[in-house]
Amino acid sequence: MPIKDRFDDHAHSLSFPVFFTSSYDSRKDRKYRYSRELNPTVEELSRQLSLLENTERSICFSSGMGAITGTILALAKPGDKLVMPTDVFGRTYLFAKNFLTKFGINVKFVEPGTDSLLGAVEEHADIVFFESLSNPLLRLYDVDRICRKASDIGAITIVDNTLATPILLKPSLYGCDIIIESLSKFIGGHNNAIGGSASGSLMMDTIDENRRSLGSSMDPMSAYLFILGLKTIDLRIKRSSETAKAIARFLNENNFVSKVYYPGLSDNSDNISAKTLLNGSPPIVSFLLDEGKDVQKFMESLRIITPANTMGGSNSTISNPYTMSHRNLSEDEKLRLGITKNLMRLSVGLEDLDQIIQDLEQAIKYAQ
Ligand SMILES: Cc1ncc(COP(=O)(O)O)c(C=O)c1O
């Protein structure tokens, strides 16, 4: 059911207004003082996000990275052990490796996969960070088992749920402490704004206080665009997911595609937990183009799908992580993560299935 906007107290408009203001008359209002601290439009988005995430609160940030860095910096203290698999988003990995370690946080990177993460948590952890569905190889982590194990030893769990989205997975139902979303992707849904959120029921005052100090606050226009995105997220994800499932099957049978990464495919090792954990199929498909195909020519030949450094929009986009999102990693790091030259990540939009398949077919043909 779409979430309804709160009525504003002034004109009772159906659509919540954008409060373009830096500050407020302090004689009249003690709650709102300055928009870096609190803005009514951003506050309304936070309210709606917490309903979607099934948490007591959501805090909005200027970007997904703002939400990740702001949350970890608010909760970690020198000497803490942060456990994280290596297959997190490239910037998250670099932040943990190059930034957190300078401030006395003991970062322990583990090989990708639920079992290796569980093994490390069992040894010891103060904070556990992972992506419920990893980017770009779509490895599904067993949120249930990981959150239970972390809770047993008193560790905080932070789950980046950007690829799964709250429509397919609600980590709060499995006891996850903090859920991160890059709103810039599926929640926004129109490639028109950058933002992030951290949702949870405990430690939220600490995270919000830290956001106010670090200054990574969301602007009201972006908040308004995300509120619009929320109205259709359910429909968009359902439609894109159905199309993506069919595209994954098509690619799996294509002679010029050597591997497809997709949790819903029957030969995928994550298949059992995909059915248990996800409320549908992901709207993203990753695949390896055959070695004999030229990746750049393939991307240049696409007519409907646009090569772009993002995902989650109503128009399909594709990326080559090797030369795009993961370009800042060393050759060794890319290899270890399975980011090979011919890996493609397709974000499926709202176009007809036939249109996308025809586009892929013709681009594969020309990519000699
Ligand atoms: C899984 C994941 N988390 C976080 C981010 C960062 O989000 P933002 O670009 O909004 O800072 C991204 C961006 O691609 C991502 O893919």
Contacts of 182 (CB under 8 A, 6+ apart): 63, 64, 65, 67, 160, 162, 195, 196
Give residue 274 CA to ligand 1 midpoint distance, Å. Answer: 22
Atom of ligand 1 nearest to the CA of 68: 4
Where in the chain are all domains bearing CATH 3.40.640.10? 40-229
* Strand pairing class (178-182; 106-110): unpaired
Q: How far is CA 263 from CA 4, 10, 236, 249, 284, in A?
A: 32, 48, 19, 12, 10
| Ligand 1 pocket, mutate which of 61, 159, 185 (most atoms under 8 A from CB) | 185
Residue whose Cα lies nearest atom 16 of ligand 1: it is 89
b/e sequence 143-164, b meaning 16+ C-beta within 10 Å: bbbbbebbbeeebbbbbbbbbb
Q: What is the pLDDT along the chain (368 residues), one digit of tens a residue?
A: 778 888 777 788 999 999 999 999 988 878 999 999 999 999 999 999 999 999 999 999 999 999 999 999 999 999 999 999 999 998 999 999 999 999 999 999 999 999 999 999 999 999 999 999 999 999 999 999 999 999 999 999 999 999 999 999 999 999 999 999 999 999 999 999 999 999 999 999 999 999 999 999 999 999 999 999 999 999 999 999 999 999 999 999 999 999 999 997 765 556 567 888 999 999 999 999 999 899 999 999 999 999 999 999 999 999 999 999 888 889 998 888 889 999 999 999 999 999 999 999 999 999 97
User: How far from chain centre, in Å, is Cα 79?
Assistant: 28
Using CA atoms, how far apart are residues 161 and 330, in angstroms rounded to an integer? 26
Please give the distance, rounded to the nearest whole angstrom, from the Cα atom of residue 69 to the centre of ligand 1: 11
For residue 362, the CA-to-ligand 1 centroid distance in Å is 30
* Length of the chain, in residues: 368
CB of 160 shorter than 6 A to ligand 1: yes
Going from the Cα of 64 to the center of ligand 1, the distance in angstroms, rounded, reads: 5
| Residue of 69, 93, 135 best suited for mutating to test ligand 1, as the one with most atoms within 8 Å of CB | 135
| Angle (nearest 5°) at CA 200 between 97 and 217 | 65
**pLDDT the model gives residue 326:** 87
CATH topology of domain 40-229: Aspartate Aminotransferase; domain 2 (3.40.640)
Q: What pLDDT was estimated at residue 271?
A: 55
CA of residue 76 to ligand 1 center, whole Å? 21
Helix/strand/coil percent split, the chain, to 5? 40, 15, 45
Domain with CATH 3.90.1150.10 in the chain: 234-367
Domain 234-367 indexed as CATH 1.10.10.10: no
Cβ neighbour number for residue 266 with a 10 Å cutoff: 7
**Most ligand 1 atoms within 8 A of CB, residue of 184, 186, 226 to mutate:** 184
First to last CA, the chain: 47
Residue 70: which of 227, 175, 219, 199 has the closest Cα?
199
Nearest atom in ligand 1 to the alpha carbon of residue 162 is: 1
Ligand 1 atom at shortest distance from the alpha carbon of 65: 11
Q: Give CA–CA dist 208/43, Å, rounded.
A: 12
d(CA 238, CA 231): 13
Q: Which of 62, 71, 84, 162 to mutate to test the pocket of ligand 1 (most atoms within 8 A of CB)?
A: 162
Phi and psi angles of residue 229, each rounded to the nearest 5 degrees, phi first: -60, -40
pLDDT at position 329 is 85
Q: Is the CB of 265 under 6 A from ligand 1?
A: no
